Amino acid sequence: MPKMKSNKSAAKRFKFTAKGKVKMEHAYAGHLFSSKSPSKKRKLRGTTVANNSDVKKVRALLPYG
């Protein structure tokens, strides 16, 4: 049986923490910043943890993560 392939687009977007949670970048943080408040832009910095309902889908895309 050959090895499974990881989904490369998902591998670039998601990382796993040591406890198995899924880290990802915030949405809405790519462009159109003039209409966003300074506090909103500050909250969009860095990474966030994915919702539990999405973790199962990410694990299917990244079997060796």
Domain count, the chain: 1
Residue 65 predicted with pLDDT over 80: no
User: Does 2 fall in a domain?
Assistant: no
Confidence band for 1, pLDDT divided at 50, 70 and 90: confident
The predicted model scores a pTM of 0.83
Residue 58 predicted with pLDDT over 80: yes
Q: Contacts for 51-57 with beta carbons within 8 Å, 24 or more apart?
A: 54/22, 55/21, 55/22
* Structural domain containing residue 57: 8-61
User: Does 3 fall in a domain?
Assistant: no
Mean of pLDDT values over 26-54: 96
